[in-house]
Structures are given as C-alpha cells and as structure tokens.
C-alpha cells in the first residue's frame, strides 16, 4: 500500500510521541519504552493500523509496536492512535529489512504479518515478508517459543509461504485456506485489507509458525 503523499505527514511523524524515530537506540531496551516488562508483540507492514490499535485496546497487558515503511500510510495509523487513550502502542517508520538492528535476540514475543505485499515477480521473492530471508531475520528477534501469524487473501503468496517456512528454523503448526469458516477464526481481529477482500468474496488464509522442536 502506498498512499499519495499526505502533506505534513513527515513532520507529524517526526514530532509524535507515539512514533519511535530512533528505534535502534532501544534495541534490547523496548521494555523501557513501555516502562513495564509485559510481552512485546509486533506487526510488520501494519498499513493504516486498525488491527494493532484494536488489539492494543483489547489487551492492555501486552505491548505492541507497529512497523510501516511508508510515511503517508503510517500517518493514517497515527491519526487513529491519537484519538485513543492507551500507553501500550508505539509505531516505527522503517523498512523491516533492518529489523534485527531494532530488536535484540529473542526480544519479541509475537510477530503478525497481515496481507503482506505479494511481490509477484520471482526476482523479488526475497522481498516477500514470508520469504526464508525474512524468516531468518525473525529467527534472530523472536523469543524461543514465540509465534508468527500470517494472514492473506493471496493464494500464490500463501502457497509460497507454506513452501518457504519449512526451509527455515520454523514449522507451520496450523493453517487454513478459509479462515472465516474455520475454528482458527475465533477471536479474529480483521485488518483493513481483510475487511475489503473478504467483502469481495475472497477466502482468507492464515498460518501459524513456531520454531521447530
Ligand atoms: N496489514 C495491513 C492490512 O492488512 O490492512 C496493510 C496491508 S498492505 C497490503 C501491506 C503494508 O505493508 C503496506 O502498507 C506496505 O507499505 C507495508 N510493507 C510492505 N513491506 C514492508 C517492509 N519491508 N517493511 C515495512 N512495511 C512494509
């Protein structure tokens, strides 16, 4: 997702108390940002932030960080965030390629990937957030028994992910190709893209990945 440049978005992001603009400085110190030792859950490619703002409201005992590479999109999440009274949600504007510079070894408890960009050309496969290259990065930052959850309506990307993940230190412990008609849907929080594409009749796929035992 890339929105037209929103005037003032870069300035608003730079000045916001909810955006961590120097995230590398908090590597291994994220609990200081939240001033507690609660678990840390992150969403990579959060888009306009509906999923994470809802989770943060529902779960005050969990710390959340949303990561989004485009300022114009992050700004939309920030607009939502600013209307809410909660102290367990921060954002970072960055490309997740550098994620291991921002979180320490095992510092993250849970990773959400929702409706990640499909990068359909083979030569761009390494940019897919479920590629073995990205899972290698997640391997560094995720707690030993941490989890990765991935949702998409893109069947090619989902099938690619089912093939890639077993090539890494992770295994797929559950998956469905029709989330909204599956027991895995219990407690599901819809993202902006999920609402749009399920509204168009696309089935939603979901998988859970955990480290190989
Ligand atoms: N997760 C949201 C949802 O489900 O509604 C947004 C989905 S949108 C298709 C994917 C988002 O991921 C875009 O906003 C894009 O800018 C962001 N994104 C893609 N690759 C990224 C990366 N390497 N680092 C950070 N954000 C990324």
pLDDT digits (tens, 9 = 90+) for 52-67: 999 999 999 999 999 9
Query: Domain boundaries in the chain?
Result: 9-211
Distance CA 172, CA 207 (A): 7
For 150-165, how does the pLDDT look when each residue is reduced to its tens digit (9 = 90+)?
999 999 999 999 999 9
What would the CATH number be for the domain defined by 9-211? Answer: 3.40.50.150
Q: Which of the listed residues 69, 96, 198, 204 should we mutate to test ligand 1's pocket, taking the one with most ligand atoms within 8 A of CB?
A: 69
Ligand 1 within 6 A of CB of 153: no
pLDDT at residue 6 in the model: 79
Which ranges of the chain have pLDDT less than 70? 1-4
The ipTM value here is: 0.99
Ligand 1 within 6 A of CB of 125: no
Q: Which two tokens stand for residue 207?
A: 């998988």
pLDDT at residue 193 in the model: 98
Q: What's the chain's average pLDDT?
A: 96
Distance CA 90, CA 80 (A): 12
> Cα of 47 to ligand 1 centre, how many Å?
5
Ligand 1 within 6 A of CB of 107: no
């Amino acid at each position: 997702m890339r929105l037209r440049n929103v005037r003032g978005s870069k300035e608003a992001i730079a000045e916001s108390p909810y955006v961590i603009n120097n995230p590398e400085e908090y590597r291994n110190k994220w609990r200081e940002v939240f001033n507690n030792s609660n678990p840390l859950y992150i969403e990579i490619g959060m888009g306009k932030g509906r999923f994470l703002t809802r989770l943060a409201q529902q779960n005050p005992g969990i710390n959340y960080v949303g990561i989004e590479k485009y300022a114009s999109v992050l700004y939309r999440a920030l607009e939502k965030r600013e209307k809410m009274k909660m102290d367990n949600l921060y954002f970072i504007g960055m490309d997740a390629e550098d994620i291991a510079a921002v979180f320490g070894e095992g510092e993250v408890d849970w990773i959400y990937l929702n409706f990640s960009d499909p990068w359909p050309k083979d030569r761009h496969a390494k940019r897919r957030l479920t590629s073995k290259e990205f899972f290698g990065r997640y391997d560094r930052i995720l707690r030993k028994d941490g989890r990765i959850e991935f949702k998409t309506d893109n069947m090619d990307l989902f099938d690619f992910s089912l093939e890639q993940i077993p090539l890494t230190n992770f295994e797929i412990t559950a998956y469905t190709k029709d989330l909204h008609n599956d027991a895995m849907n219990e407690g599901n929080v819809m993202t902006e893209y999920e609402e749009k594409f399920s509204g168009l009749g696309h089935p939603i796929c979901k998988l859970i990945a955990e480290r190989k035992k």
